[in-house]
Structures are given as structure tokens and as C-alpha cells.
Amino acid sequence: MSNNIKFAAILSFMGQTRDRFQVWGPAYTLEEKFARAARVENLGAVEIVYPQEFGDVAKTKRLLDEHNLVCSTVNVNIKTEPVFHMGSLTHPDANVRNKAIDYLKTGMDISVEMGCNMITCCPLGDGHEYSFQIDYVEAWGRFIEGIREAAKHRSDVKLSLEYKANETRARIIMGSATSALHVCDQVGLDNVGVTIDIGHALYAPETPSLSIAQLHLANRLFLFHINDNYRNWDWDLIPGSVNWWDWVENMLYIEKVGYDGWIVSDVMPGRLDAIKVLNAVNKSILRAKNLLDKVDHDRLWTAIRSNDALAAYDLFYRELGLD
């Protein structure tokens, strides 16, 4: 495997975080969030949220430079503001849909200023809770049209769509890797692709490495968000802390498909120290990579292609010194 793992993190996790019941940590300023990110080992970039962290684009750029970081991706948030509480791109009101599309377009422009030329967007407000709550035909059509209009804004920027099964809506309109691929096909533009969030894939429930393969073969694998969970909800835990073997397999497929973009931590520090958690994320990437590097790949792929999973496990356990 290449030694050039490009490790990034979502900047907002360096700030105050919360769940439905508690708030953790003080309300860090943007300057403080950057200073904290700069203390994480091997961190090369941060994913920055538009509009919340781009109140002053020049200032955000200056903070990146000051801390020797780059922007991996602009994360366009079309879910948090009250206006989007019943949806954004699928909202019945054209004014709300246009606001979401404008956010995507502005995010694309900012991504060029940041030098990354990529936005990622997880449309968590576009979905439903109840039967008879939305017109699925209209909603799907609006979703495709909205993505197409935004993506046509400029072909030099990638628009990467992050799928998720639920939360904040009980059901989200683009809930799986295959659904996201269908969006890409229906939009029909080369600059539209998919952000695979490993946690979202795990609890979809998908086999994340199969999803990686599917996205890769369709030329739509644009970005990785990494985390872990108990396959029941989006707990945003440290990758490999729960599903270790899935994680090793994912790293194998990152290598196999030749992905050379950013690997972005989408881990919620929660009750733990955010910098220690991010360092642990980095370690988990390196541990899986180091284990893979030790294993003879010819033998590993021979085992896989012979459908001999037990032989593959034996290769790993031998390298771990357990046999």
C-alpha cells in the first residue's frame, strides 16, 4: 500500500459537540478549532462546513495557512437551519429548494478559492417520518433536478453526495450506495459522485467494501468519511474499534481501487478528548495499513479468490503473532 495516506478531519468536531441530551465542551471559536486541529498527528487537511465556518472566507483561508493545513472538502450544510426542517432539495416550496441549490453553488465557488474543488453534501433533511407525508414521485424528481442544477454551475468542481439511511429524518431519500449511484446516473453529469461514509454503509446495512467496489466501478467514488458503529445507528466511533475486520477489508479495498484522495475522519469525540480521539483515528488507519503491508498480498488475494476466508484470517492472525 502507498505510504501516502491523506488524513483529514471534519473541523466542526474540534468544537463543541452535542447529542439529543447533552452538550460537550465549550463553544470554541473558529480560531480555537483550527488550533486544536493543528495538534492532531499527521493531519493534513480539514473539511470545513459552509455556511457555518465560512462567515468570512478570507479569514478561514488565513487560518488554514497559519496552521499549515489545507481544505480537503467544503461540506455544504443544507440540513441544519430551521428553513430546511421539512427538507431542502425536495422541499415543496421552490424558494427553499433554490436556497439549498444556492448553498451548493456558493460552496462550489468557495471550494475553488480553497483549492480543493470539491464539495460534499449529506441531505439529511430530505426524507420523511410517516406514510403519506411526502409525494415520493415529486420529491425524487426535485432531488435529481436540484443536484443537476447545482452540478451544472461549474464542471471544474466535484459535487459528492453522502448517503445515509436515516437521521435527522426517520427515512432519508438517498439512503444507500446504490441509491446514490442511481442519483448519479439520473443526473448524468461527470462531476457528480459519492462520499462513502463507512459508518453509514455499516448500518445501512451494507458491506462497506462491496459499496467501495460498486462506487469505484462506476467512477463515482469521490470521498471517504471514516468512523464505526454497532450497525444500529450512526455512533461515529473510531474506525476499527467495533468492526475491526471490516475496517481492515476497507483499507484493502482503498488500496485495491487506487483511491488517492483524502480519508476524512467523521468521528464524534463525544465524551472523550477530541485530539486524543483524532490521534486514535490516525493510529487505526495506520494499524490496518501496517497489518496489510505485512501480509503477502499474492497469498491474500489467492485466498479471497478461492473464497477461502479462513486462509485469509490465518494470514492476518499469523502476522499479529497469535498463531
> Considering beta carbons, is residue 142 or 209 the nearer one to Mn ion?
209
Give the DSSP per-residue string, 140-177.
HHHHHHHHHHHHHT-TTSEEEEEP-SSSSSSEESS-SH
127 contacts 172 by C-beta, under 8 angstroms = yes
> Considering beta carbons, is residue 167 or 319 the nearer one to Mn ion?
167
> Considering beta carbons, is residue 150 or 267 the nearer one to Mn ion?
267
Q: If we measure between CA atoms, which residue out of 187, 72, 84, 171 comes closest to residue 120?
A: 72
Dist. CA 162–CA 172, nearest whole Å: 11
> Considering beta carbons, is residue 197 or 249 the nearer one to Mn ion?
197
Q: Least distance to Mn ion from the beta carbon of 75, Å?
A: 8
Q: Least distance to Mn ion from the beta carbon of 262, Å?
A: 13
Q: Least distance to Mn ion from the beta carbon of 197, Å?
A: 4
Q: If we measure between CA atoms, which residue out of 45, 52, 162 comes closest to residue 114?
A: 45
Chain residues in the site for Mn ion (CB under 5 A): 197, 225, 266
DSSP 265: E
266 contacts 277 by C-beta, under 8 angstroms = no
C-alpha angle 209-124-181 in degrees, rounded to nearest 5 = 40
> Considering beta carbons, is residue 197 or 246 the nearer one to Mn ion?
197
Q: Least distance to Mn ion from the beta carbon of 122, Å?
A: 6
Residues ≥6 apart with Cβ < 8 Å to 308: none
> Considering beta carbons, is residue 53 or 197 the nearer one to Mn ion?
197
Q: Least distance to Mn ion from the beta carbon of 92, Å?
A: 27
